[in-house]
Amino acid sequence: MTPTRRIARIFRGTPRNLARLAQALARGELVAVPTETVYGLAADALSPRACRRIFRAKGRPNSDPLIVHIHEWRQLELLAEPNAAARRLAAAFWPGPLTLVLRKKPVVPAIVTAGLPSVAVRMPRHPLLRRLLKLCGRPLAAPSANPFGYVSPTTAEHVRLGLGAKIRYILDGGAAPIGLESTIVDVRNPRIPRLLRPGAITREQLEHVLGGRVAVARRSTTTRRGAQLAPGLLKRHYSPHTPVVLHETAAPADWLSARPDEAWLLIMKPKRTTPPTVFWLDARGNLRGVARRLFSQLRKLDAAGYRRIHAELAPGGGLAEAINDRLRRAAAAS
């Protein structure tokens, strides 16, 4: 008989379960965890062996570094060399969806940083993950808990569908309240901060705290060694299997006459009756609602068997910058 493939078990966030998952992480195992952004695939960040398991489970290239999640400030000082800009941003936004790229210390394994002398660190806000981090007493490396390059998971069930045969433990913390990955800022040089990946913490908010301009990095941020400076910077990423076509605005004439094998994904619910091939992200076009539902809706449409997904870009700046970044990467050619 062919042996039955083990499927990951989903755990509720009880004290007993959290203690069990902390023990699993201490043994070098992987645990999918909820964060306020998306679900992450966590391992002991100071164990090269455990972190290599992340790359194998996801099919992730070693050139793409991991974000390290910490529970308290002293852990940052263990991992990296904080400076004035990092301290100001951390005071304003931690715990929260902000990742800082800093010069690393030797304790951080090379597998975590793609061999680079920098490390990406954040202090998450999700209460279950914070409790787990405290129980572990060690930082956790945790990229998104999905096969590499696919749409990020925002529920425990998304994780089970994507990685359920490759991991054993999933901590269920409900649907991710933000739905987009963290903002990433390069503050290795505190005088020239760079926004590497937009997120819920907007460029305007960063500039307000720092009191000056934050430069926007080029979409490709590959170093001379061929490694990415931070995760989520590849031209094509967060992508469904179904091709995505972007539209600055979706005119009613376009989606009213939509082909039955092509879906339209709008920012806001139309005021008129729509065909069954038209979907939307938020009834009123609220960008927080749009961000929260974007990945979940892309997954649903991808699973529905459409030939193509037409997606409308979000208007304006701020959070729209992050939403459109994910859409453009999802639609990019390989």
**Of 258, 260, 323, which is closest to residue 297 (Cα–Cα)?**
323
pLDDT of residue 266: 96
Q: What is the mean pLDDT of residues 229-236?
A: 88
Q: pLDDT tier at 256 (50, 70, 90 boundaries)? A: confident
Residue 333 has pLDDT above 90, yes or no: no
For residue 109, cis peptide bond before it (omega within 30 degrees of 0):
no
Structure tokens at 283: 């009834």
Q: For residue 12, which amino acid is it?
A: R
> Is residue 218 classed as helix, strand or coil in its secondary structure?
coil
Per-residue pLDDT tens over the stretch 161-208: 999 999 999 999 999 999 999 999 999 999 999 999 999 999 999 999
Q: pLDDT tier at 6 (50, 70, 90 boundaries)? A: confident
Residue 154 has pLDDT above 70, yes or no: yes
Residue 260 has pLDDT above 50, yes or no: yes
Q: 244-331 architecture in CATH?
A: 3-Layer(aba) Sandwich (3.40)
Q: CATH 3.40.50: which residues of the chain? A: 244-331
Per-residue pLDDT tens over the stretch 65-109: 999 999 999 999 999 999 999 999 999 999 999 999 999 999 999
C-alpha 148/C-alpha 146 separation (Å) is 6
Q: CATH 3.90.870.10: which residues of the chain? A: 9-216
C-alpha 236/C-alpha 239 separation (Å) is 7
pLDDT of residue 226: 73
Mean pLDDT of the chain: 94
Q: pLDDT tier at 225 (50, 70, 90 boundaries)? A: low
Q: What is the mean pLDDT of residues 18-32?
A: 98
Structure tokens at 175: 């649907």
Q: pLDDT tier at 221 (50, 70, 90 boundaries)? A: low
Residue 220 has pLDDT above 90, yes or no: no
pLDDT of residue 80: 98
Q: pLDDT tier at 219 (50, 70, 90 boundaries)? A: low
C-alpha 297/C-alpha 315 separation (Å) is 19
Residue 222 has pLDDT above 60, yes or no: no
C-alpha 263/C-alpha 311 separation (Å) is 8
C-alpha 207/C-alpha 209 separation (Å) is 5
Q: For residue 170, which amino acid is it?
A: I
Q: What is the mean pLDDT of residues 220-228?
A: 64
CATH T-level assignment (fold) for domain 9-216:
DHBP synthase (3.90.870)
